[in-house]
Structure 1
């Protein structure tokens, strides 16, 4: 197997220059870089990633911890992170936490053990105190879709309280007064914050929060189906429904059609996230835009700026949601 010494000899440059080319150092001229790369190709030389990481104290790999691998939400998140890191010559190692405290902690420890330079984590079950404590170690942990004030410089989040407010206000502005709500699991900060926004919109318009029109779902299609079934089986009266994410909204829409409820004439529905399928449901789903691809890209740029000292990135750490108005809502005719 060829060595770095043989590469330097064939290219007619120093070992330090070969090392700078391997580490993509900007101080090497294009002419010299081509000589080194040509020599590496001629000799069939492949850099040893482990040796590189020992020499530079960097592995050029970033760990990603997400709740699940399936579904459009996490797919978009991981795509945004990976695209930005790959452009910068970094690689990712991905694992899951399944929204369970032990598995989230195990996932973070696994990524630290893989010598990652940093971790980008979407975690829901571990405490703020744990995240503050883990950031005292040598591997910084950056948070997606979560805000912890003590480590706010490492957080990329969406203003979910405002998103929840906008979802409900959209229906109130259309004349709806009896609005049912299917929430996500309340131990999840985003679900809790969206519910608070819903309550603020009601209070602002002198509407009381009705426990009968409240159901806690699972952020999956089944949650939307179960929630709407619960409301209908109890003969509760409502003209509109807010679901705390698009997957539950799609489940509610499916259940409504199966029970001959005409959308949106008999029931207006609003979702949350604006995942890719929201524009392909029938009717197309009015929802709150959660720019998770852009947030993932921003988390990666935050790592590049803070860990790899790439100063060119302008960072936005708190994103503001917007309403995407489509066909699943209608004016309420009193």
Structure 2
């Protein structure tokens, strides 16, 4: 196996120059870079990742915590983070918190033990104080889909409350006054914020908040069908449902099919996230677009800029937008 010394001798440069090329230093003459790369190719030189990490104090890796791997939300989020990371010839190490405080804590300690150069965290269970302390310990950290005011510059998030309000206002504008809401897990800040947006829209329109019209579901596929059945049984008078994500809306579609209820005519449905399947169900689902690609891209770019001591000043708060399709009818 070839060594750095052999590469330097063949390229007619110092071993220090070879080391600088391997570690991506900017101040290396182009001619010397060319000769080093040619020598590495001729010798089939494979740099040792551990040795590089020791030399540069970097591992060329980014750690990422997500809620779960079983979700149409986290896949695109991971994909768009990794796209940016791989452009820098770095690797992404991903772990899952699985809706457990202990597992989130263990996952972060695992990533830190790997000496990752930065962290991208989607945390539901860690407290604001814990995240603030973590940033003091590991400043190269970005929080996604959550705002912690004290570290707002390290948070990339969507205004979920505004999204819930936009969805509910759209139903009200279409003549609906008996509007239900099926939330995600109320342990999640997304769910609480979207529910607050629903309540805000009712208040602005002068409509009463009826707790019988609100039921807790889940952002994944577990138990949503039973939640929809319970809602329709106890509040058959509703004409519209705000579903706090598109998975929940799909459960509404299924239960309505069981009961012979026509969506878009007898019951209006609006979702949240704009998952890829939302435009393929029939009727096509009206929903709130969650720009997951932009969240992942901005979080990764901001983190990489921080690691490289570059300036990057994105808008940390992304605005949700209505995607109008066919699942909401206008009442006369």
Aligned residues: 332
Structure 1: stretches of 5+ with no match in the other structure: none
Secondary structure, counterpart of 1:236 in structure 2: coil
Query: What is the Cα deviation at residue 91 of structure 1?
Result: 1.0
Structural RMSD (CA): 1.4
| Residues in 2 aligned to 1:273 and 1:138: alpha-carbon distance in whole angstroms | 31
Where does residue 117 of structure 2 map in the other structure? 117
After superposition, what is the alpha-carbon deviation per residue over 1:233-272, rounded to whole angstroms, capped at 9, x for unaligned? Answer: 2253110000101111111111111211111100110000
Q: Decide whether the 8 Å contact of 1:223 with 1:251 is kept in 2.
A: no
Contact 1:163 1:321 in 2 (8 A): yes
Q: Which shifted more, 73-82 or 141-150?
A: 141-150
Question: Which residue is 1:255 aligned to?
Answer: 255
Alignment of 1:149-188 (within 5 A): 149-188=149-188
The answer on whether the counterparts of 2:120 and 2:144 sit within 8 Å (CA) in structure 1 is: yes
Q: What secondary structure does 2:272 align onto? A: coil
Counterpart mapping for 1:80-159 below 5 A: 80-138=80-138, 140-159=140-159
Residue 135 of structure 1 aligns to a residue whose secondary structure is: helix
Name the structure 1 match of 2:272. Answer: 272
Distance 2:30 2:233 in 1: 71
SS in 2 for 1:156: strand
Give the structure 1 partner of residue 294 of structure 2.
Answer: 294
- Closer, same or farther: CA 202–138 of 1 in aligned 2, 3 Å: closer
Partner of 2:329: 330
Secondary structure of 2:69's aligned partner:
coil
Between the aligned partners of 1:254 and 1:296, the Cα distance in structure 2 is: 31
Partner deviation per Cα, 1:89-134 (whole Å, 9 max, x = no partner): 2211111001210010000000000111111011101111111112
SS at match of 2:68: coil
Report SS of the residue matched to 1:65.
strand
Decide whether aligned partners of structure 1 residues 138 and 262 sit closer, same or farther in structure 2, where only a CA change above 3 A counts: closer
Distance, in Å, in 2 between the alignment partners of 1:138 and 1:287 is 37
Q: Which runs of 5+ in 2 are unaligned?
A: none
Between the aligned partners of 2:30 and 2:43, the Cα distance in structure 1 is 20
Instruction: Name the counterpart of 1:215.
Output: 215
Distance 1:331 1:222 in 2: 31
Structure 1 position 27, deviation (Å): 2.8
Q: CA deviation at 1:223?
A: 4.4
Paired with 2:139 and 2:55, the residues of 1 have a C-alpha distance of: 18
TM-score by length of 1: 0.96
Per the alignment, in what secondary structure is the counterpart of residue 25 of structure 2?
Answer: coil
Paired position in structure 1 for 2:5: 5
1:120-153 CA-partner distances (Å, limit 9, x unpaired): 0111011111111122214643211011111112
How far is the alpha carbon of 1:165 from its aligned partner?
A: 0.3
Match of 1:231 in 2: 231
Q: How far does residue 24 in structure 1 lie from its aligned partner after superposition?
A: 2.4
Deviation at 1:35, TM superposition (A): 1.6
Find the residue that maps to 1:269 and give its secondary structure.
Answer: strand
Q: Give the secondary-structure state (helix, strand or coil) at the position aligned to 1:177.
A: coil
Change (3 A) 1:214 1:249: same
SS in 1 for 2:18: helix
Match of 1:242 in 2: 242
Query: In structure 1, what is the equivalent of residue 40 of structure 2?
Result: 40
TM-fit CA distance, 1:47 = 1.0
How many Å separate the matches in 1 of 2:261 and 2:314?
Answer: 45
Return closer, same or farther for 1:108/1:314 CA change in 2, 3 Å cut-off.
same
Query: What's the offset of the Cα at 1:6?
Result: 0.7
Deviation of residue 67 (structure 1)? 0.6
Aligned residue for 1:221, secondary structure, equals: coil
Deviates more, 1:45-54 or 1:138-147: 138-147
Question: CA separation in 2, counterparts of 1:115 and 1:209?
Answer: 49
